[in-house]
Structure 1
């Protein structure tokens, strides 16, 4: 659903996009993969602004671009929903909460560092973040397996093995998967042209 040309509803969409992205960024601990899951729940499951397959494609673009995945995810979702204004609103809403929180924490760094309760709270958050990331992996893996494309499943398993067992740098894995995707697309396009 593209709201970029719908002028009357555009302001409401931009405001809703800002509030949603700001909220997600403010209450998401653990990095970009966590916020991507919550963006999927908000924009796909709750608002129905984006289809699930399209969200997976947007996440793939966000992962392959340089920079933090949370900001990249906000960029692609914002642009998809409302063009350049949506992109700018999403970026602003994503970077404001960490900027404000880190600014406050830096003022009271010593007190935070020495506080036992803050340390225990952060340790608890790490456990929660691990669970959310595991949820993302399982959902994305299940969605990829549902397509019943043997090559996609093989690529997913090989990427996991390369990262987990062989400790190959993730950058090389992403570049290899991108190259495989390009080759597959070119081959399928060539077959369609020949038919």
Structure 2
């Protein structure tokens, strides 16, 4: 890849994440559908299964899932430069918006219109997160075993309030154990939706 082409590619990565960045109201989970639309459907840089794996890894390491996802995708696309460019792209608009809103909020903090707007923003964010969970579920839940693991994990999170990192570590162990037990018993093991 020539230097000129490389910089164009890095600029595309930056601009893609720069336009995704402003939708992070409510946390990084609200950004997941936007990232998927941009990097999977529009740019075709990664596949749906890959981006689901990236989201899983991004959630399991310390830091915001949006920043981690952008960094991992950028790294996958263009190495360390891509990681830095994608991370900067996703952070810069949010940083600028927060600075501007902080200044503006000093003047309008008690305005009923602003308080009403946040009611709608919070509700819309719940819908974005639910949609992201549905899309990831389409690739992650593909048989009875993965459905049972999903239901058990949700129940454990809800009733026992275990830290998500422990859930992920438990999921790793459970996944390895289930696949190995199925192999020992002679059952077919599917590792994703496309396996026959």
TM > 0.5 fold call: yes
Q: TM-score range by the shorter chain?
A: 0.7 to 0.9
Asked if 1:11 corresponds to 2:7, the answer is yes
Match for residue 73 of structure 2?
77
- Rounded to whole Å, the distance in 1 between the matches of 2:99 and 2:110 is 18
Instruction: Give the counterpart of 1:164 among 158, 161, 164.
Output: 158
Match for residue 168 of structure 2?
174
Match for residue 39 of structure 1?
35
Asked if 1 retains the 8 angstrom alpha-carbon contact of 2:45 and 2:77, the reply is yes
User: How many Å apart are 1:110 and its aligned residue?
Assistant: 2.6
Q: What is the number of residues matched between the two proteins?
A: 183
Where structure 1 has 5 or more consecutive residues not aligned to the other structure, the ranges are: none
Deviates more, 1:28-37 or 1:103-112: 103-112
- Rounded to whole Å, the distance in 1 between the matches of 2:177 and 2:79 is 29
1:80-101 deviation digits (Å, cap 9, x = unpaired)? 1111111000111111122111
Specify whether residues 123 and 6 from structure 1 end up closer, same or farther in structure 2 by C-alpha distance, changes over 3 A only: farther
User: How many Å apart are 1:63 and its aligned residue?
Assistant: 0.7
1:103-161 deviation digits (Å, cap 9, x = unpaired)? 1222233323212222111111111111111111112122223x33x332222111111
Asked if 1 retains the 8 angstrom alpha-carbon contact of 2:73 and 2:83, the reply is yes
Over aligned residues, Cα RMSD in angstroms? 2.3
Specify whether residues 92 and 182 from structure 1 end up closer, same or farther in structure 2 by C-alpha distance, changes over 3 A only: farther
1:60-83 deviation digits (Å, cap 9, x = unpaired)? 110111000010000111001111
Deviates more, 1:28-37 or 1:162-171: 162-171
Asked if 1 retains the 8 angstrom alpha-carbon contact of 2:21 and 2:89, the reply is yes
Specify whether residues 12 and 182 from structure 1 end up closer, same or farther in structure 2 by C-alpha distance, changes over 3 A only: farther
Match for residue 127 of structure 1?
123
Deviates more, 1:171-180 or 1:12-21: 171-180
Specify whether residues 184 and 89 from structure 1 end up closer, same or farther in structure 2 by C-alpha distance, changes over 3 A only: farther
Where structure 2 has 5 or more consecutive residues not aligned to the other structure, the ranges are: 185-196
